Chain A
Amino acid sequence: MYFSLRNAWREIRNNRSFCLFYTLNLALGLVGFIGVNSFKSSLDLRVESESKELLGADLAIRARRAFSSEELSTARRSLPPETQEIKAIDFFSMAAGPTGKSRLIKVVAIDPGFPYYGSFKTKLSGKITGKDENILHQLPVVWLYPELRSQLNLDLGDKLKIGEANFRVTDFILDEAGLSFQPAELAPKAFISTKFLEQTKLLSQGNTAFYNHLYKLPSHISLNEFTERLENALTNPEIRVFSHQKVGHRAGRLLRYLSDFLAIVSMVALFLACLGSGYLYQGFLNQRVKDIAILVCMGATKKAATQLYFSQLFILGVASVIPAVILCMLVIPLLSGALGTFVPIEIEAHISLSSIGLALLVAILGGWLLALPTLWKIRQLQPAELFRESTNSGNFRGSRLSILFTLPGIFAFWALCIFQSDSTKLANLFFLSLVGSVFALYIFVRICLWLLDRLFRKSSLSLRLATRSLTRNRASTITGFLALGVGVLLLNLIPQFQYILENEIGATNQVAKLPKLFLFDIQDDHLYSLQQMLQSRRTPLQNITPWVRGKLLRIKGEMYEKIALEEQDFRDPEEERRSNFRNRSFNLSYRDHLLESEQIIKGRMVRLDYNASTAKPAEISVASKYAESLNLDLGDQLEIEIGGVPITTEIVNIRRVRWTSFQPNFFVQMQPGVLENAPQTYIATLSNLNAEEKEKTQDFLVREFPTISILDVERTGKKILEIVAQMTWALQVMAGLSIFAGIIVLYSLALEKARQQRWEINLLKILGASFQDLRQLVRIEFGLLALSASSLGVVLSLATSYLLAEKIFDRVWSFHLGLPVSIVIGVTLLSLVVTEFATRKVLKESPVALLGER
Chain B
Amino acid sequence: MIDIKKISKTYFQGTQRIEVLYQLSLKVEEGESLAILGQSGSGKSTLLSLMSGLDMPDFGSITLDGLEINRLKQDELSQFRAETMGIVFQQYHLMSNLTALENVGIPLELRKDPDYNQAAMDALKLVGLSHRLSHFPSELSGGECQRVAIARAIVGKPKIILADEPSGNLDDDTGKDVMDLLFQLCQERKQTLILVTHNQELASTCDRMMILQKGQLQLAS
Assuming the A-B contacts A11-B97, A299-B79, are A389 and B111 also in contact, with contact meaning beta carbons closer than 8 angstroms in the complex?
no
A residues near B49, Cβ cutoff 8 Å: 384, 387
> A298–B110 contact, CB under 8 A?
yes
> A383–B107 contact, CB under 8 A?
no
A297 CB–B CB distance under 8 Å: yes
Complexed CA–CA distance, A202 and B104 (Å): 93
Complexed CA–CA distance, A387 and B52 (Å): 11
A residues near B48, Cβ cutoff 8 Å: 387
Instruction: Identify A301's interface contact among B78, B94, B107, CB under 8 A.
Output: B78
B6 CB–A CB distance under 8 Å: no
A residues near B45, Cβ cutoff 8 Å: 384, 387-389
> B74–A290 contact, CB under 8 A?
no
> B74–A299 contact, CB under 8 A?
no
| Interface 9-mer from B84-92, B172-180, B203-211 | B84-92
B residues near A301, Cβ cutoff 8 Å: 74-75, 78
B residues near A15, Cβ cutoff 8 Å: 97
Q: Mark A266-305, 1 if CB is under 8 A from B, else 0.
A: 0000000000000000000000001101111111111110
Complexed CA–CA distance, A389 and B95 (Å): 18
Complexed CA–CA distance, A300 and B80 (Å): 10
Chain A at the B interface: mostly helix, strand, loop or mixed?
A: helix
Assuming the A-B contacts A297-B87, A302-B74, A383-B54, are A10 and B97 also in contact, with contact meaning beta carbons closer than 8 angstroms in the complex?
yes
Complexed CA–CA distance, A391 and B96 (Å): 15
Instruction: Identify B93's interface contact among A290, A300, A303, A304, CB under 8 A.
Output: A290
A386 CB–B CB distance under 8 Å: yes
Q: Please name the residue on chain A nearest to B145 by beta carbon.
A: A854
Assuming the A-B contacts A296-B78, A386-B93, are A3 and B142 also in contact, with contact meaning beta carbons closer than 8 angstroms in the complex?
no
Q: Please name the residue on chain A nearest to B47 by beta carbon.
A: A387
Q: Closest approach, in angstroms, between the C-beta of B99 and any C-beta of chain A? A: 9
Instruction: Identify B110's interface contact among A302, A303, A304, A384, CB under 8 A.
Output: A304
Instruction: Identify B89's interface contact among A2, A296, A387, A854, CB under 8 A.
Output: A387
A residues near B16, Cβ cutoff 8 Å: none
B residues near A384, Cβ cutoff 8 Å: 45, 49, 52, 54-55
Complexed CA–CA distance, A303 and B96 (Å): 21
- Considering only residues 380-416 of chain A, those with a C-beta below 8 Å from chain B are 383-384, 386-389, 391
A residues near B46, Cβ cutoff 8 Å: 387
> A10–B98 contact, CB under 8 A?
yes
Q: Closest approach, in angstroms, between the C-beta of A281 and any C-beta of chain B? A: 15
Complexed CA–CA distance, A389 and B48 (Å): 12
Q: Please name the residue on chain A nearest to B85 by beta carbon.
A: A299
> A297–B52 contact, CB under 8 A?
yes
Complexed CA–CA distance, A7 and B40 (Å): 36
Residue from A6, A291, A295, A301 whose CB has the most chain B CB atoms within 10 Å:
A301
A14 CB–B CB distance under 8 Å: yes
Q: Mark A793-821, 1 if CB is under 8 A from B, else 0.
A: 00000000000000000000000000000
Complexed CA–CA distance, A162 and B120 (Å): 94
> A299–B89 contact, CB under 8 A?
no
Complexed CA–CA distance, A586 and B68 (Å): 87
Complexed CA–CA distance, A300 and B110 (Å): 6
Complexed CA–CA distance, A376 and B113 (Å): 28
Complexed CA–CA distance, A300 and B78 (Å): 6
> B79–A854 contact, CB under 8 A?
no
Q: Closest approach, in angstroms, between the C-beta of A1 and any C-beta of chain B? A: 10
Assuming the A-B contacts A384-B55, A388-B45, are A291 and B95 also in contact, with contact meaning beta carbons closer than 8 angstroms in the complex?
yes
Interface residues on A, range: 20 to 34
- Considering only residues 289-329 of chain A, those with a C-beta below 8 Å from chain B are 290-291, 293-304
Q: Closest approach, in angstroms, between the C-beta of A851 and any C-beta of chain B? A: 14
Q: Closest approach, in angstroms, between the C-beta of A598 and any C-beta of chain B? A: 70
Complexed CA–CA distance, A294 and B142 (Å): 18
Q: Closest approach, in angstroms, between the C-beta of A235 and any C-beta of chain B? A: 70
Instruction: Identify B106's interface contact among A290, A298, A389, A391, CB under 8 A.
Output: A298
A residues near B78, Cβ cutoff 8 Å: 296, 299-301
Instruction: Identify B107's interface contact among A10, A299, A386, CB under 8 A.
Output: A299
> A295–B102 contact, CB under 8 A?
no
> A297–B54 contact, CB under 8 A?
yes
B138 CB–A CB distance under 8 Å: yes
> B93–A294 contact, CB under 8 A?
yes
> A298–B81 contact, CB under 8 A?
yes
B17 CB–A CB distance under 8 Å: no
Q: Mark A486-519, 1 if CB is under 8 A from B, else 0.
A: 0000000000000000000000000000000000
Q: Please name the residue on chain A nearest to B79 by beta carbon.
A: A299
Q: Mark A825-854, 1 if CB is under 8 A from B, else 0.
A: 000000000000000000000000000001
Q: Closest approach, in angstroms, between the C-beta of A435 and any C-beta of chain B? A: 37
Q: Closest approach, in angstroms, between the C-beta of A394 and any C-beta of chain B? A: 14
Complexed CA–CA distance, A246 and B170 (Å): 81
Complexed CA–CA distance, A291 and B96 (Å): 8
B131 CB–A CB distance under 8 Å: no
B residues near A299, Cβ cutoff 8 Å: 78-83, 85, 107, 110-111
> B164–A387 contact, CB under 8 A?
yes
Q: Closest approach, in angstroms, between the C-beta of A581 and any C-beta of chain B? A: 64
Complexed CA–CA distance, A276 and B207 (Å): 57
B residues near A387, Cβ cutoff 8 Å: 45-46, 48-49, 54, 89, 164
Complexed CA–CA distance, A302 and B106 (Å): 15
Instruction: Identify A391's interface contact among B80, B91, B107, B152, CB under 8 A.
Output: B91
30 examples of A-B residue contacts, CB within 8 angstroms: A3-B109, A3-B110, A11-B97, A290-B93, A291-B95, A291-B97, A294-B95, A295-B95, A295-B106, A295-B110, A296-B54, A297-B52, A297-B54, A297-B87, A297-B93, A299-B80, A299-B82, A299-B111, A300-B110, A301-B75, A303-B75, A304-B110, A383-B54, A384-B49, A387-B45, A387-B49, A387-B54, A387-B164, A391-B91, A391-B93
Interface contacts beyond A15-B97, A299-B82, A391-B91: sample of 13 additional A-B pairs, CB < 8 Å, sorted by A: A2-B112, A3-B110, A295-B106, A295-B110, A297-B87, A298-B81, A298-B110, A299-B85, A299-B110, A304-B110, A384-B49, A386-B93, A387-B164
